[in-house]
């Protein structure tokens, strides 16, 4: 069996595959040449992340392909249903990067609440000449402890965000399409654990009125989850972080509500016009920004690679 990890795979994952007698091709093939490469090299498994697209034309043109794998949660770049109809196995790693994304959420929350995103920009430029002025302007900061964390979406990432909020002493509320109850387990370094039962709500208005900090952790949507009507119902001075997908929040409306003071600060790891975000977003001092790196930690990539490898090995045993 041959595997093309076209968007890369961790060394740990590659080693698991090699130990199982599976050949790993570490080529990086341009989208226009992927079909030819797969057929010429008799590739059985195509692994991608977000760069390589697996659409119907590729699936139809590569009859020898048996497995398509996505390193991560979202499957937006794969025509999943069509692949399954054509008899392919489609795999992903829905939980491997959850902690990494959740930690980025709170990295942004801390930056926003303490003005770190802005002070890090200004200190090299004005730290020597305007130190006292900046100290004063950044003094109206907030603790997260005791505040209400609103989590939109209750999948693996939403659950990790909720757990981190609980560990910081925040009140956690969750918004989902349908109310659901989940038991979250917080595990500690000494083997102790504590369980919390959380029931989500589908009452958007009540949710928005209560949340001090909002984290969006949903799959890709066809329309905005947060638009002008939702902004209008939020608390004054709310903080928002989007690590979900571009297009779940109206970025133009976000800027308007930042300028009006309704939104104290926001963070975006994903963008509507990715990979070319609007300049107005990039230049806004109330925004904390990162280039879609939610799951990009060494730890997450190792987990992703190993999980994909283990799934491939299991499927190989089934189809042989």
Active site residues: 245, 274, 292
Residue 149's H or E segment, with its range, is strand 148-152
Residue 125 token pair: 């430029």
Residue 191 token pair: 């083997």
Indicate the DSSP class of residue 54. Answer: B
Residue 131 token pair: 């130190």
Indicate the DSSP class of residue 249. Answer: B
Distances in Å between the alpha carbon of 144 and those of 50, 63, 134, 224, 282?
33, 53, 22, 27, 25
Angle, in degrees to the nearest 10, between helices 298-319 and 98-113: 160
| Intra-chain end-to-end CA distance of the chain, in Å | 10
């Amino acid at each position: 069996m041959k595997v093309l990890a076209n968007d890369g795979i961790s060394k740990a994952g590659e080693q698991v595959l090699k130990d199982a007698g599976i050949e790993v091709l570490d080529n990086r093939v341009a989208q226009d040449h992927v079909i030819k490469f797969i057929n010429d090299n008799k590739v059985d498994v195509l692994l991608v992340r977000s760069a390589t697209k697996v659409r119907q034309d590729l699936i139809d043109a590569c009859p020898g392909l048996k497995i398509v794998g996505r390193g991560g949660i979202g499957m937006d770049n794969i025509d999943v249903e069509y692949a399954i109809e054509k008899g392919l196995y489609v795999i992903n790693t829905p939980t491997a990067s959850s902690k990494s994304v959740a930690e980025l959420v709170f990295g942004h929350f801390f930056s926003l609440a303490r003005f770190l995103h802005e002070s890090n920009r200004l200190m090299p430029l004005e730290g020597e000449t305007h130190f006292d002025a900046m100290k004063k302007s950044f003094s109206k900061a907030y603790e997260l402890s005791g505040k209400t964390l609103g989590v939109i979406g209750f999948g693996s990432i939403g659950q990790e965000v909720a757990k981190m909020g609980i560990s910081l002493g925040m009140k956690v509320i969750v918004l989902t399409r349908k109310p659901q109850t989940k038991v979250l387990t917080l595990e500690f370094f000494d083997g102790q654990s504590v369980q919390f039962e959380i029931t989500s709500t589908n009452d958007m208005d009540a949710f928005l009125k209560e949340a001090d900090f909002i984290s969006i952790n949903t799959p890709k949507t066809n329309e905005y989850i947060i638009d002008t009507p939702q902004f209008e119902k939020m608390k004054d001075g709310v903080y928002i972080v989007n690590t979900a997908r571009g297009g779940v929040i109206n970025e133009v409306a976000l800027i308007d509500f930042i300028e009006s003071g309704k939104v104290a600060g926001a963070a975006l790891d994903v963008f509507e016009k990715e990979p070319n975000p609007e300049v107005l977003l990039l230049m806004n001092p109330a925004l904390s920004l990162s280039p879609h790196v939610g799951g990009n930690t060494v730890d997450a990539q190792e987990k992703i690679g190993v999980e994909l490898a283990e799934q491939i090995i299991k499927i190989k045993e089934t189809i042989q």
